[in-house]
Amino acid sequence: MGFTIHEQAAKKQMSWDVSRPQEVVPETLREGFSGTPGGGLPVKQIPFLEFPRVVYMHPNEPFETVEHRNDKFEVVSTDTIPTEHLTKTVNNETELKAAMKEGWVKEAYVPKAVPTRIGLYGPKKKIE
């Protein structure tokens, strides 16, 4: 649940101490409201809406190899980069169910770190 400044309460409080924590006040202020008990910034809750919602398509492979070419189309270098998810916005329950059947999910994809080359640095191993 998010919060935003309660403008009516802020006007009635006249001054507030921003070093104090935010204080939640009711949506409708009581008679004679003069400020929050601790003098903090008066805030109200923002209602949470289920839709529109973003759904995600996770990649099948954790990494992608990108080839860089020069003007003669020769491969100059390659990079291994983490893959990212695709996004889609759904506006109601029926669109959400259809997207879920297609393989979209509600949880975002967290990319994995690119593997490092083990043994590239440090003391050399003796070959026997």
Return d(Cα 16, Cα 40) in angstroms, integer: 6
Domains of the chain: total: 2
* Least confident interval from 6-20, 32-46, 74-88, 107-121: 107-121
Give the H/E segment covering residue 68: strand 63-69
For the entire predicted model, the pTM comes to 0.55
Residue-number span of the structural domain to which 35 is assigned = 2-46
Looking at the fold, whether 59 and 98 belong to one and the same domain comes out as yes
Looking at the fold, whether 42 and 57 belong to one and the same domain comes out as no
Looking at the fold, whether 57 and 34 belong to one and the same domain comes out as no
Return d(Cα 49, Cα 20) in angstroms, integer: 29
What per-residue confidence (pLDDT) applies to 38? 86
What per-residue confidence (pLDDT) applies to 128? 64
Q: What is the mean pLDDT of the chain?
A: 87
pLDDT in tens, 67-113: 999 999 999 999 888 999 999 999 999 999 999 999 999 999 998 88
The reply to whether 117 falls in a domain is: no
